[in-house]
Amino acid sequence: MANIGFIGLGNMGGPMAANLAKAGHQVKAFDLSTEALDKAVQAGCMKVENALEAIQEAEFVISMLPAGKHVHSLFISSEVPLFDHIPTGALVIDSSTIEADVARSIAHVANERNIEFIDAPVSGGVGGAQAGTLAFMVGAEKPQFEKALPILECMGKNIFHAGDHGAGQIAKACNNMMLAILMAGTCEALNMGMKNGLDPAVLSDIMKQSSGNNWALQVYNPVPGVMENVPSSNNYQGGFMVDLMFKDLGLAMNLSQLSSSPTPMGSAARGLFNLHKEQGNGQLDFSSLINLYQEK
């Protein structure tokens, strides 16, 4: 079993670290949140006092942070950059969702210092993180991907080698733009059905068996009470926050501009999530977008 340093124990990182410990790995976990650290310890991880302590003797270092600036700071630009202390032979796996060019630049710096760094953002939500069924989209050289694979398989079910460094982030931006579009469309359709007298559970079942079927209907229904154990049935708590979806749509729009790719539906989805966010809903799960369509 491997020695793993895990930094970032939020809604996604916490369950991921727990699954690594469950698989028998020694996981030294760190987060700024005491509550998150305590949960990690309960799940079998070893609590450490800082990020530097987390990477001591590590064979793998995994980071799960909010944005590219945090990843860059952690490894390169902080007062104690981890790239100055990464053990020889360790592989750094960044599962944060960040800009593809930032992932490439960090990988370039890592390569100059003879450090292995790959981008491996995830999809599957908190439920997937808890169940160990995440999808990983990996940007790496092939030997690096093969080295990371046994570790990633402890946390995910579908592991994809998207391409070289940064490719994982491009795939994630495309996926989350599609997710935002699908959720917005699902909210519109369910709201219209409800306003015309349909039971949202019945309408959801109809669409799941018809050509409108999609992931949101299958496992993440935005209407409270239609599904158990989803954020909409928990006051939109505990899932993927509106703030994070808005950030990810910003990454997608940046990619679209850099590549001159038309994204009219992605742009419309970002506008909707921005409006929802500006109404004070940034900390709610992104499926709460359905509230934007409903009269208060």
The CATH code for residues 3-164 is 3.40.50.720
Query: Reduced to 3 states, what is the DSSP secondary structure of residue 157?
Result: strand
Judged on CB neighbours under 10 Å (0-12, 13-18, 19+), 17 is buried
What is the DSSP secondary-structure string of 99-137?
Answer: -HHHHHHHHHHHHHTT-EEEE--EESHHHHHHHT-EEEE
Smallest CA-to-CA distance from 83 within 64, 110, 61 is with: 110
d(CA 15, CA 130): 5
> Model pTM?
0.92
Smallest CA-to-CA distance from 189 within 165, 160, 210, 169 is with: 210
Structurally, at CATH architecture level, domain 170-293 sits in: Orthogonal Bundle (1.10)
Q: What residue ranges do the domains of the chain occupy?
A: 3-164, 170-293
C-beta separation of 239 from 232 below 8 A = no
Position 239 scores a pLDDT of: 86
Q: How many helices (H) and strands (E) does the chain have?
A: 12, 9
Q: Checking DSSP bridges between strand 134-139 and strand 122-123, what pairing results, if any?
A: antiparallel
Active site residues: 172
Position 296 scores a pLDDT of: 59
Query: Reduced to 3 states, what is the DSSP secondary structure of residue 253?
Result: helix
Tens place of pLDDT per residue across the chain (296 aa): 999 999 999 989 999 999 999 999 999 999 999 999 999 999 999 999 999 999 999 999 999 999 999 999 999 999 999 999 999 889 999 999 999 999 999 999 999 999 999 999 999 888 899 999 999 999 999 999 999 999 999 999 999 999 999 999 999 999 999 999 999 999 999 999 999 999 999 999 999 999 999 999 999 999 999 999 999 999 999 889 999 999 999 999 999 999 999 999 999 999 999 999 999 999 999 999 999 999 75
Spatial CB neighbours of 149, under 8 Å, sequence gap ≥ 6: 159
